């Protein structure tokens, strides 16, 4: 069996300019107002251990994290710089520069520390991880493979909710559409039902179908992040948007159309003609974190049915007069979708309790630190 061909990343490719101007990267007057005196701005294009690669007005640079930034990240991983962040750079000895601060984010895709180890499937430390920052569009990539290999609608619902909560606009992209020409209408309908109010596009990097439609979301300095499972064709989609091979890819297996895991880090790519896109590794499990109204937006149809329930606090599990259960029994509403909604509601409630515990611990830590400082200053006695 022939090993799959792998295309190596070429840093000198013209679609990866060394010195893009700051407005093309998304720099604005609002960000400039937050930049500390004596520092220069840069946008994070890649994160390594204790350091980042940043794009600046003079080119790409490697910068280490200053001690205060590392300490802040140790207390709260969400505070660490991530791909898409704007940071303040300061000069240090030996001609190097450090990240002195992370500038305020206008949006952030944050997943919670949730795993499958508990009985409820809702365990974790309650901390979050920022997958991408300052994004305008969250592209949820789901492969369209074969008729007997259906899309994971539950995963799409979860990622779309994550997209809404990020502050960006979610868009679902069904990749590898050329592998499922006859089943696309049904798949589009199923995915549209799982993501009401969200644009859904079928895309083929082989034929070019749908690529211009996705490219249309990236006018000017708009930034997109591509999320999805391994083998969904995320890097291939990024290459199609860039018009060249800027990210490593591997061929899919002819037997089932599945790709192999290629991307191992998140990376910001500047597209020719404007726009930026963040490629990401495959996601196996994405937990909710700081839950807003994302779940409510994804399941707006549940809320609409619930308005006709007999009881205002109906949980839609076994109550008499439940309009949602009645719709499920009649076949009007998919049972799978109700179960998905119930699961996400439980997870959101659990994460809320974890957030409350974390907030109380942080408040206690701050009060303790303040009290110790007051004792050192002689304001209070031991």
Work out the pLDDT band at 378, boundaries 50, 70, 90: low
- The tens digit of pLDDT for each residue in 55-103 reads 999 999 999 999 999 999 888 888 999 999 999 999 998 778 999 999 9
β 51-56/40-48 pair status: antiparallel
Angular region, 145: left φ>0, alpha ψ -120 to 50, beta rest: alpha
With residue 337 as reference, give the H or E element that holds it.
helix 335-376
Supply the Cα-derived Rg of the chain in whole angstroms: 23
Q: Distance (Å, rounded) from C-alpha 285 to C-alpha 230?
A: 11
- The tens digit of pLDDT for each residue in 248-296 reads 665 544 444 444 445 568 999 999 989 999 999 877 777 676 667 889 9
Q: Is residue 374 over pLDDT 60? A: no
SS3 143: strand
SS3 58: coil
Work out the pLDDT band at 18, boundaries 50, 70, 90: very low
Q: Is residue 109 over pLDDT 50? A: yes
CA 318 to chain centre: 35
Contact predicate 224/109, CB 8 Å? no
Stated pTM of the model: 0.80
Around Cβ 178, how many Cβ atoms within 10 Å?
17
Work out the pLDDT band at 337, boundaries 50, 70, 90: very high
């Amino acid at each position: 069996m022939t090993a799959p061909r792998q295309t190596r990343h070429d840093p000198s490719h013209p679609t990866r300019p060394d010195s893009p101007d700051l407005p093309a990267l998304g720099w604005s007057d609002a960000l400039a107002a937050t930049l500390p005196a004596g520092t220069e701005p840069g946008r994070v294009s890649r994160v390594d251990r204790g350091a980042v690669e940043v794009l600046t007005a003079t080119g790409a640079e490697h910068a280490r994290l200053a001690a205060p930034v590392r300490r802040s990240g140790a207390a709260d991983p969400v505070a660490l710089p991530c791909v898409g962040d704007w940071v303040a750079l300061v000069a240090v000895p030996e001609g190097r520069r450090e990240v002195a601060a992370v500038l305020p984010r206008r949006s952030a895709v944050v997943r919670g520390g949730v795993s499958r180890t508990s009985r409820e499937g809702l365990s974790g430390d309650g901390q979050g991880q920022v997958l991408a920052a300052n994004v305008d569009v969250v592209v949820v990539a789901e492969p369209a493979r074969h008729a007997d290999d259906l899309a994971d609608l539950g995963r799409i619902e979860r990622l779309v909710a994550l997209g809404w909560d990020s502050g960006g606009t979610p868009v679902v992209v069904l990749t590898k559409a050329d592998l499922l020409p006859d089943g696309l209408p049904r798949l589009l309908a199923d995915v549209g039902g799982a993501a009401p109010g969200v644009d859904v596009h079928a895309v083929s990097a082989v034929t070019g179908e749908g690529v211009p439609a996705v490219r249309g979301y990236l006018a000017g300095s708009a930034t997109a992040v591509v999320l999805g499972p391994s083998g969904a064709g995320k890097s291939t989609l990024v290459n199609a948007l860039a018009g060249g091979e800027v990210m490593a890819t591997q061929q899919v297996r002819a037997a089932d159309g599945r790709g192999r895991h290629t991307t191992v880090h998140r990376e910001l790519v500047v597209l020719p003609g404007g726009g930026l896109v963040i490629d990401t590794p495959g996601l196996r499990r994405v937990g909710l974190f700081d839950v807003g109204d994302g779940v409510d937006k994804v399941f707006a149809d549940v809320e609409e049915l619930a308005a006709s329930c007999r009881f205002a606090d109906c949980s839609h599990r076994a109550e008499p007069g439940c309009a949602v259960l009645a719709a499920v029994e009649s076949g009007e509403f998919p049972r799978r979708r109700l179960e998905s909604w119930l699961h996400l509601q439980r997870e959101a409630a659990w994460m809320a309790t974890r957030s409350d515990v974390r907030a109380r611990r942080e408040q206690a830590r701050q009060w303790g630190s303040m009290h110790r400082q007051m004792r050192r200053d002689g304001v209070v006695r031991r």
